[in-house]
Structure 1
């Protein structure tokens, strides 16, 4: 990672981040990927603390000084599992020189490990091909939709699903 990467800080979402988080996510969804979506059709973004910041879940922002340049969330879906959600990085902060995506993912996975999460699930679309490569590079395995846990927050646009196992039972049978 380049020297600029040291400027990026990861921090838990605070209410004062709400407008910038919504603007970043919706602009990427609409302008880069052509989704017909707005903030009103994503009620989780209007209630981040209630929707994400409880149990084994949380929501983080990546900051470059006072500017939000990335987001990632873990949604507690029960049974020591979480759903990875809302991972977005501003276009000008993508790539290994900045390392924003890696910092976001590693921060979320570190949190999950510290909170005894067993598996991380995620859904994405066929359009996010760079994301597919990123998740696979970081150990996520492609799974069928039928392998998702019952509590997984399925989105109609999702067509590809991944799983990363964090905790394995290492105890021997008696």
Structure 2
């Protein structure tokens, strides 16, 4: 089974919304609606125009996972919308890892040196995944002042892509 990664926009809106809301609401009971996430209906404006991206992982032409980058300053971005369908999670598929590596490559190629993300405590496997990928948990007060905070997020992580500085 081959995984295809590609930049996606609103032509995949229905699949994107379906994938993300199902995981948030049904699987993890996160109290969030589509109305709370207007970015999902304006992918080009919200992600691409400021210099970020929105990537999809496809298996047999079906969306199996997403990851997005909101560029919020010259050299920093926020990871958003990292979701993989339940049946495609885990090392055997490696979709989350491929999506993250693709986003990190995009960030490096576009002069972004710091990646941040916010999540919720219930997503323990996600937190372990980020820690394995060298993200450090930080306090909310350590976030850059222009970090685009999402209402439900209470756990925050940071990855410096240029650890030599």
TM category (shorter chain) comes to: over 0.9
Residue 98 (structure 2) pairs with residue 103 (structure 1): yes
| Cα distance in 2 between the residues matched to 1:36 and 1:146 | 24
- CA RMSD, Structure 1 to Structure 2 (Å): 1.2
TM-score normalised per structure 1: 0.91
CA 1:85/1:102 → structure 2, altered by over 3 Å: closer, same or farther?
Answer: same
Q: How does 1:83-162 map to 2 (within 5 A)?
A: 83-162=78-157
In the other structure, the counterpart of 2:66 is 71
Structure-1 separation of matches of 2:146 and 2:74:
9
2:49 and 2:75 map into 1 onto residues whose CA distance is 13
Q: Find out whether 1:51 has 2:49 as its counterpart.
A: no
Report deviation, 1:40.
2.3
Count of paired positions: 165
Normalised by the length of structure 2, the TM-score is: 0.95
2:6 corresponds to 1:11: yes
2:33 paired with 1:38: yes
Q: Is the 8 A contact 1:74 1:84 kept in 2?
A: yes
Contact 1:80 1:118 in 2 (8 A): yes
Alpha-carbon distance in 2 for matches of 1:133, 1:111: 23
- Are the equivalent residues in 2 in contact too, given 1:80–1:116 (CA < 8 A)? yes
State the structure with more CA Rg. 1
Question: Structure 1 pair 73/25, CA: closer, same or farther in 2 (3 Å)?
Answer: same
Partner SS, residue 98 of structure 1: coil
Q: Is the 8 A contact 1:74 1:108 kept in 2?
A: yes
